[in-house]
Structure 1
Amino acid sequence: MTNQREKRNEASLPHSVFSADWLRKAERQAAQETGISLFTLMQRAAKAAFLMAQRQFPDARHWLIFCGHGNNGGDGYEVARLAKQAGIRVTLLAVDSHKPLPDEAESARLGWEKAGGESGAADTQWPQDIDLIIDGLLGTGLTSAPRAPYDGLIENINATPVPVLSLDIPSGLDAQTGQAAGQAVHATHTLSFIALKPGLLTGQARDYVGKLHCDPLGLQSWLGGHLPHLQRLDATQLAQWLHPRRPCSHKGDHGRLLVVGGDTGFAGAIRMASEAALRSGAGLVRVLTHIENAGPLLTARPELMVQELTAKSLEEGLKWADVLVIGPGLGQRDWGRQAVEQAEKSDKPALWDADALNLLAINPGKRQNRVLTPHPGEAARLLGCSVEDIESDRLLSARKLTERYGGVVVLKGAGTLIASERGGLAVADVGNAGMASGGMGDVLSGIIGGLLAQKLDVYDAACAGTVVHGAAADEIAHRQGTRGMLATDLLAVIPPLVNPDLKKQISE
């Protein structure tokens, strides 16, 4: 059974994402304002799930459906009823509780029984010939590790080699943070109801969600009247940031970027960042680095302007540049520390990465026109906490980083988050496991820096750059798979992504 998110999500996924807590409370309001009952909403959810199961697994003839003791279980009862009516063999196992079922779930249970369905106990022996599991155990209200008997059921589901469709969210996954505190279902497909929740897109989500789908259950117009809590970003949106160039433009119109870094032994980092900036469209890129790197860099990429990093060359470079990128391969010796201290005095838009972030953690400062691109370890140092603290709630961590350091933060990871002190918040639904290799962050820094040089706003540059970066990796994964992907593999596929008008021009 595969659960890799390297498979593309549906192109129809919405770009608006809503807080899990807000959605739970808003569900009743939505039903009232649109003139339907909560039970009708449950029936819509079940029908959407039933039709998806039929569409994705047309040959599945024996469904094992798990129903928890909540409205997620109610969805399961309704799916079971529809499947039975369609002539599909259904085995339904229900978790018992001393508490009564919610009204809507109880109505669904009674409807299942009226249709001739039977419910087995959670500890019932499973049939051997099942070919599809429907997960309706735990919904979006879970905030801690599943307890017995749920944990054991989830463990057995994961050990069973048949596909799994999770209703609304894989049981055991936190719908807000994307964390799994204990056992969580490894779904093949997940169908989110009404809207996407953050926990389906960041944190540990990609290990559990499988292919993600969303059905608004007829509430899309109502939902459109509410501001989303964050945006889901993908490559279809690149055209909103990256417009065609003016035909008579020249290199000076597309920005002068200064890239600082590359201590002894780290020429690769500064080379990848600076070339990524060129590939992203920066007009001129000047590199200040250790003198031993100058020859190799010029030989590998003669379009770069390369000088030794000294106090004087940095002063001159900062006057010349429109935008600064500092950190790739910088190190934390006095050489790098002095460069950061000098760069801190500049008021030019900037991107700080790698060791520039580690040095910033030692001497914190706040500014508005800067992008920080930490991975979880760097973020932990910036906030003085553990990596586990960062990963336990990535959304909150991103917000804390902007509160402390200002500007825009790109919190890297599976489901990279982009947060602005001014309120913007987005999750990049691009990228794959092939990016777990050295140098990927350097390429990201160069892309965002290149877009900043082309006069994109700091938040837009961070959003667009992160999407270009992840989409480039997805293109490489599509061609050759994820294992063995190199950061430099991305460089050749960046240009088509930063020219989203290209397909339109070709078609015309």
Structure 2
Amino acid sequence: MANQREKQNNASLPHSVFTADWVRAAESRAAAQTGTTLYGLMTQAGQAAFTLARDLYPQRRHWLILCGHGNNGGDGYVVATLARAAGLQATVIAVPGERPLPPEAEQAQAAWLAAGGEIAAPDSAWPTESDLIIDALLGTGLTSAPRAPYEALIEAVNRHHAPVLALDIPSGLLADTGQTPGSVVRADHTLAFIALKPGLLTGQARDWVGQLHHSALGLSQWLEKQRVTLERLDAQSLPRWLAPRRPCSHKGEHGRLLVVGGDYGFAGAIRMASEAALRSGAGLVRVLTHQEHAGPLLTARPELMVQELTEASLADAEAWADVLVIGPGLGQGEWGKKALSVLRKSDKPALWDADALNLLAITPDKRQNRVLTPHPGEAARLLGCSVKEIESDRLLSARKLTECYGGVVVLKGAGTVIANESGGEAIADVGNAGMASGGMGDILSGIIGGLLAQKLTPFDAACAGCVVHGHAADLIAHQQGTRGLLATDLLPVIAQSVNPELK
């Protein structure tokens, strides 16, 4: 079966995402406007964490709470105080600092000591009976690798047998990027406070966050009034893009899509992309590829219109189509270059993927009605940098790509990022590790192309397409697990995702 993160029900998670700096700057303002204090928010955070821990692990009786020298540690002190009051064994190990604790954390620490609690040093031996670990070491302000003694404590957590609940973010994970410059707590569950941060959803987040939970600490109504620039997308988002079809609609209303690619040895790519476009609801899909591929494609999917790619057929098909998809299996030889040189002159909405992106990196241009769908390697070629630089800040990388190439960029990966040049940004919180297999990108290209053909805007088509793609994979993984999941396994399931009214 899929792992916890892949099986979870995200129904309780908000769709708005805010940076850590924004949340820190907004906390005081939010507290004042809602009639509470920063310490009041801290006690609510501790109460939410305590309640979640009791719900998740009702039989665990000896909690080990690791507190850092900041407000994250303050949350931990509140949890410890509540655990002790509930009759549980609570052991606190805290990291001292060179400066005084923040006022709210100092107040929480004093409450713990007043309740009879004790504080052990970072190098203290851990009680052998500890059966639950609360990670309150490092919060969302971290910007570099954890240093001693935090690093040693994080490594000890990861060696321990007890489950881990991380408060706000697993210690060591960077809140705005999801990067891991050093040691990171591998949490079984993470409880985010006030708002979700980008680093909980993209980058390396899924390796460390476990099952994600959220508590707004009583600020939900206040948060709803704030301007959101980054959105978390999941299957609940689909109805806003994919309304039920009008009963008297016909295929001409749902778009004519041209898919070009499938050089020798890559017929599978063009087949998967074109069939995914059909499955996503495109009215008519026309394929231009090598003549040798026409028979197998028609045998596999007779609903496709397949022709040999020639200068004449390309001119005719471009004039016929509403939307263009080029790249799946295209190759970088003269055959693919000639096709791309014709289609790049078209002013019709288009999706470029795979070798179309590699060729674009050689001869760049900028246009607005185009969706680019690079994986990190292709993104690195497009920006002339390393994959490490792309992955160090996926949101920033997507923004840079839109600045250079215009249109909409889908930066694929765990926590796919969608961005456009006007500032629209989203993270697709769907998908699973089974999607790390060949052909998944071709399926995505077909889905987004099919949605473009159905007159969604490029940004909406990219957002909806990523969710449909990941959600279909999640449906399969829930039934059979992630290992051995094939790209073509998604084809029969896509229809469930593009018809959200059936759920």
Taking structure 2 as the reference length, the TM-score comes to 0.99
Distance between the aligned counterparts of 1:285 and 1:325, measured in 2?
10
The alignment partner of 2:493 has SS state of: helix
Give the share of equivalent positions with the same residue, in percent.
Answer: 73
The aligned runs of 1:325-340 (5 Å cut-off) are 325-340=325-340
The question of 1:156 aligning with 2:156 is answered yes
CA distance in 1, matches of 2:228, 2:149: 35
Q: Distance in 1 between matches of 2:3 and 2:451?
A: 34
1:61 lines up with 2:71 in the alignment: no
Mapped partners of 1:298, 1:209: distance in 2 = 45
Unaligned runs of 5+ in 1: 504-508
Contact 1:432 1:474 in 2 (8 A): yes
Show the counterpart of 1:506.
none
Amino acid paired to 2:272: M
For structure 2, the 5+ residue unaligned runs are: none
1:51 matched to 2:85: no
Write the distance in 2 (CA, Å) between the matches of 1:158 and 1:291. Answer: 56
* Partner Cα separation in structure 2 for residue 177 and residue 102 of structure 1: 25
Aligned to 2:100: 100
Residue 379 of structure 2 is matched in structure 1 by 379
Secondary structure of the 2:491 match is helix
Match of 1:361 in 2: 361
- Residue 423 of structure 1 pairs with residue 423 of structure 2: yes
In structure 1, the residue matched to 2:179 is 179
Q: How far apart are the structure 1 equivalents of 2:25 and 2:248? A: 54
State TM-score, norm by structure 1.
Answer: 0.98
Measure how far apart 1:422 and its partner are: 1.7
Instruction: Give the Å deviation of 1:75.
Output: 0.4
Q: Quick check: 1:3–1:209 contact (8 Å CA) kept in 2? A: no
CA contact (8 A) 1:3 1:187 kept: no
Q: CA deviation at 1:28?
A: 1.2
Determine if contact 2:472/2:496 at 8 Å carries over to the other structure: no
CA contact (8 A) 2:229 2:423 kept: no
Helix, strand or coil at the partner of 1:330:
coil
Secondary structure at 1:501 match in 2: helix
**Structure 2 matches for 1:249-328, cutoff 5 A?**
249-328=249-328
**2:278 touches 2:450 (CA, 8 Å); kept in 1?**
yes
Contact 1:9 / 1:211 at 8 angstroms: preserved in 2?
no
Q: Bigger CA drift: 223-232 or 162-171?
A: 223-232
Q: Is the 8 A contact 1:20 1:197 kept in 2?
A: yes
The number of aligned residues is 502
Counterparts of 1:112-261 in structure 2 under 5 Å?
Answer: 112-261=112-261
Looking at structure 2, the residues matched to 72 and 413 of structure 1 have their Cα atoms a distance apart, in angstroms, of 29
**Deviation of the 1:10 alpha carbon:** 3.4
Rounded Cα–Cα distance in structure 2 between residues aligned with 1:71 and 1:114:
19
Indicate yes or no: 2:482 matched with 1:482: yes
Matches within 5 A, 1:340-355: 340-355=340-355
Residue 373 of structure 1 deviates from its aligned partner by: 0.4
Query: What CA distance in whole angstroms lies between the structure 2 residues aligned with 1:498 and 1:281?
Result: 8
CA contact (8 A) 2:7 2:478 kept: no
Residue 76 of structure 2 corresponds to which residue in structure 1?
76
Shift of residue 29, structure 1, vs aligned partner: 1.3
Looking at structure 1, the residues matched to 410 and 59 of structure 2 have their Cα atoms a distance apart, in angstroms, of 43
- Counterpart of 2:437? 437
Q: Quote the residue 2:414 is aligned against.
A: 414
Displacement of 1:502: 2.4
CA distance in 2, matches of 1:438, 1:76: 44
Residue deviations 1:380-404, cap 9 Å, x none? 0011100000000000001001111
1:30 is aligned with what amino acid? A
SS in 1 for 2:10: coil
Counterpart code for 1:465: G
Aligned-residue offset at 1:289? 0.6
Rounded Cα–Cα distance in structure 1 between residues aligned with 2:438 and 2:389: 24
RMSD: 1.0
Q: Contact conserved, 1:415 with 1:429, CA < 8 A, in 2?
A: yes
Compute the displacement of 1:7 (Å). 2.5
**What secondary structure sits across from 2:237 in the alignment?**
helix
Aligned partner of 2:233: which letter?
L
CA positional deviation for 1:4: 4.8
